[in-house]
Structure 1
Amino acid sequence: MPETLVFYTNPLSRSSIVHWMLEEVGADYRMEVLEFGDAMKSPAYLAINPMGKVPAIRHGDTVVTEAAAICAYLADAFPEAGLAPAPAERGEYYRWLFFAAGPLEAAVSLKGCGFQPTPEQERMLGFGRLEQVLETLEGAVDGKEYIAGNRFSAADVYVASHLSWGMQFGTIEKRPAFEAYCRGLETRTASRRVREHVEREMAAKGWSPD
């Protein structure tokens, strides 16, 4: 695989998901921190991600955007880290990785924007309603150390990141199953390093989850 990996990030964003994944796979990467606003909309960065959003990575000549896609790519690009199941065993892995990227994030984001779908609108939306999404995910992690099989994977990085961030900032209700699942993963060295990095950046910006 290409040796040079550039990580475009802002630590106070979804980039922390990819940061955790990079630490887990042990990639040799260079971090380019972009401030919100003009830096993310500059022609140079729009050539990387026309959406003008972070995270993104450039791995040699390969550019990947969208946090879930980057997690899946890194798991495959660094197979020695063991963060993707064998191809024949990837059903739950893909299911929950993209459940969090689709229904969970959409439902939580719309709630944060103050949107409450009507029963008619629920039929039009892929996630239906937030309560149904959370109940489904609760069933997936309840009593489990990992969400897909019996070993840690990129799906855990993505799902646990969303649950931890959501519970911290009040966009996802704290449920015992969510807390137990995240608590077990937060002890990982890579997770702790990234969390400490984000906390330092939040303190520097005067941000607080309270």
Structure 2
Amino acid sequence: MGDGPTLYTCAGSRGLRATWAAEEAGVDIDLNILPFPPRYLAPEYLEINPLGTVPMLVDGDTRMTESCAIAHYLATKDGMTDLAIAPGQSDYAEYLDYTYHADATITFPQTVYMRFAIFEKDKGWAEAGEAYANWFYKRLVKVEDRLESRDYLCADRFTVADISVGYALILAKKVGLDEGVPEILKEYRERLTGREAYKRAVEREKAGLAALKA
């Protein structure tokens, strides 16, 4: 383990927000890829994070488990960067709002959909999962409206808010929820996933997963 922060995560999970933010901010992290789900396949992880969830960032005495918060932390831990917006700057409130909106309002129904319609569909809960898919589609309207007149969510530049919301759209495509995603948001997703830092983050997680399976 190096002197920098250590990120525990599963490849492609919400932790991608943190891996991506680290690449964008140029923060050197020790990336520790775990098997999914770690609470069952890596029980020793519970000694580090009793929740058994990913991601988790360890930085000295700091312990963080919320992906959007970790992304913001990595973007600001060594001083403000263009990835974040400070109090008093234009769109500061919007930056906070969309960063929190990403998980609380958008990723939440995706998570329930995945559990009921994918992971536990054999238990007869697929219909409930599909109901949450519709919830997810309806909750995209706020981001859709915001992006009608801009390329990025806040301050006319790419920020952690875009990482946070963008991951939810990336996840939608991955788990079969793309049908209800508006075209404007698909175009936005293409802009985000075309970034070199995003590509590096994905490749780094893939490499960690390959090493885990080797």
What corresponds to 1:35 in structure 2? 35
The answer to whether 1:166 aligns with 2:172 is yes
Q: Which residue of 2 aligns with 1:71?
A: 71
Aligned to 1:194: 201
Paired with 1:32 and 1:189, the residues of 2 have a C-alpha distance of 21
Residue of 106, 109, 132 corresponding to 2:108: 106
Query: Contact conserved, 1:22 with 1:74, CA < 8 A, in 2?
Result: yes
> Which is further off, 163-172 or 93-102?
163-172
TM-fit CA distance, 1:159: 0.8
Offset, 1:18: 1.1
Deviation larger for 32-41 or 193-202: 193-202
- Equivalent residues in 2 for 1:35-54 (5 A)? 35-36=35-36, 37=38, 38-42=40-44, 45-54=45-54
Larger RCO (CA within 8 A; separation ≥ 6)? 2
* CA drift at 1:133: 0.5
How high is the sequence identity, in percent, across the aligned residues?
28
**Structure 1 residue 80: Cα displacement:** 4.9
Stretches of structure 2 lacking an aligned partner (at least 5 in a row): 117-125
TM normalised by structure 2 equals: 0.78
- What code does the residue aligned with 1:61 have? D
Distance 1:102 1:194 in 2: 24
Tell me how large the CA RMSD over aligned residues is.
Answer: 2.9
Gaps of 5+ in 1: 123-127, 206-210
Judged with a 3 Å threshold, the aligned counterparts in structure 2 of structure 1 residues 144 and 13 are, in CA distance, closer, same or farther, namely same
Amino acid across the alignment from 1:52: G
Matches for 1:74-153 after TM superposition, within 5 Å: 74-89=74-89, 90-112=92-114, 113=116, 114=126, 115=128, 129-153=135-159
- Which deviations, in whole Å up to 9, do the C-alpha atoms of 1:94-114 show, x marking residues without a partner? 111111110111222233324
CA contact under 8 A between 1:46 and 1:52: conserved in structure 2? yes
* Alpha-carbon distance in 1 for matches of 2:70, 2:142: 24
| Count of aligned pairs | 194
| TM-score normalized by the length of structure 1 | 0.79
